[in-house]
């Protein structure tokens, strides 16, 4: 998996995963549960005022806007070639849930697009990831919130230039501290034990590539989702699927949680 630097494209990073993080929605749920327990224990003599105040607290907790790091548009890039498989809906669901859980982003799905002809690399019959990132960036509608990012998902093979190789097949590509990322399931399906492992790999790769977009570079933390894939699948398979403690600190700095716009 690669990260594209936005400062001129001279720097290319390769990678892949550990961490923690309590989803803010879980925190809200815990607050409501605790407050409801207080209501249950209120004595009859104080029921009216206490219940009223506590009910307000519950209402506030449930309506308080949940802080997010970004809005992420999810778009499937369909392979227009005859016989090409579609991107499995269950896989999209897994990616959406994990991006929300790991990064506290708001995920919005937009209509699928066919892979753009302009990104097709005829000599290898696959698609150039750099061109796809440009295309994806153009899919963000005018007037979208300023912190809007876009993640493309495709079953087609994708590639980029790396370490002197003009066209190197990759799992995904994300703009470092940028706007767009793309993930391909094509190589992640290879030698997978079962469908569950494919789901794990593709979901981890989506978390990784969006990590780049949110400002995370490759790291050296054991099992961190931002470890470099190093051209193989082992780091992806061993990943915890989450940023490690050091990457969490960087994430909070690069893409802090803020109320939604």
Stretch that binds Zn ion, among 3-11, 49-57, 141-149, 177-185 (CB under 5 A): 3-11
The mark string for 172-211 relative to Zn ion (x by CB under 5 A, - otherwise) is ----------------------------------------
Among 96, 98, 130, 221, binds Zn ion (CB under 5 A): 221
Which residues are the active-site residues? 209
**With binding defined as CB under 5 A, does residue 219 bind Zn ion?**
yes
Alpha-carbon torsion, ordered 234, 236, 240, 243, to 10 deg: 130
The whole-angstrom separation of Cα 186 and Cα 202 is: 9
As separate numbers, helices (DSSP H) first and strands (DSSP E) second, the chain gives 7, 12
Neighbours of 103 (CB within 10 A): 26
Cβ-based nearer residue to Zn ion, 3 or 70: 3
Tokens representing residue 100 in the block: 């929300």
**With binding defined as CB under 5 A, does residue 224 bind Zn ion?**
yes
Interface residues for Zn ion in 225-254 (CB under 5 A)?
226, 244, 247
**With binding defined as CB under 5 A, does residue 133 bind Zn ion?**
no
CA–CA distance from 59 to each of 26, 30, 51, 53, 56 (Å)? 16, 14, 12, 10, 5
Residues near Zn ion (CB under 5 A), total: 9
The whole-angstrom separation of Cα 174 and Cα 239 is: 18
Cβ-based nearer residue to Zn ion, 152 or 244: 244
Smallest separation, CB 168 to Zn ion (Å): 13
Cβ-based nearer residue to Zn ion, 126 or 250: 250
The answer to whether 226 and 18 are in contact (CB under 8 A) is no
Smallest separation, CB 243 to Zn ion (Å): 5
Stretch that binds Zn ion, among 12-20, 67-75, 93-101, 144-152 (CB under 5 A): 12-20
CA–CA distance from 150 to each of 15, 24, 178, 221 (Å)? 20, 22, 10, 26
The answer to whether 184 and 106 are in contact (CB under 8 A) is no
Compute φ and ψ for 167, nearest 5 degrees: -140, 100
Among 4, 15, 153, 217, binds Zn ion (CB under 5 A): 15
Interface with Zn ion by CB under 5 A: which residues? 1, 3, 15, 219, 221, 224, 226, 244, 247
């Amino acid at each position: 998996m690669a990260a594209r630097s936005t400062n001129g494209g001279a720097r290319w990073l390769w990678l892949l995963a550990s961490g923690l993080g309590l989803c803010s929605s879980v925190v809200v749920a815990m607050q409501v549960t605790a407050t409801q327990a207080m209501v249950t224990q209120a004595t009859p003599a104080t029921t009216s005022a206490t219940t009223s105040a506590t009910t307000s607290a519950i209402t506030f907790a449930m309506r308080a806007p949940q802080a997010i790091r970004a809005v992420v548009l999810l778009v499937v890039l369909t392979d227009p070639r005859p016989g090409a498989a579609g991107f499995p809906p269950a896989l999209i669901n897994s990616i959406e849930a994990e991006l929300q859980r790991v990064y506290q982003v708001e995920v919005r799905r937009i209509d699928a697009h066919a892979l753009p002809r302009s990104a097709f690399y005829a000599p290898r019959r696959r698609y150039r990831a750099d061109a796809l990132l440009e295309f994806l960036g153009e899919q963000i509608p005018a007037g979208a919130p300023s912190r809007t990012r876009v993640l493309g998902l495709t079953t087609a093979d994708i590639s980029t230039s790396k370490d002197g190789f003009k066209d190197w097949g990759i799992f995904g590509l994300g703009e470092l501290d940028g706007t767009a990322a793309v993930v391909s399931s094509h190589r992640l399906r290879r030698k997978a034990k079962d469908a569950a492992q494919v789901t794990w790999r593709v979901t981890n790769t989506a978390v990784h590539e969006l990590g780049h977009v949110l400002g995370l570079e490759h790291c050296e933390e054991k099992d961190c989702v931002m470890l470099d894939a190093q051209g193989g699948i082992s780091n992806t398979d061993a990943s915890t699927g989450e940023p490690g403690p050091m990457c969490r600190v960087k994430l909070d700095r690069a893409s802090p949680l803020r109320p939604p716009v």
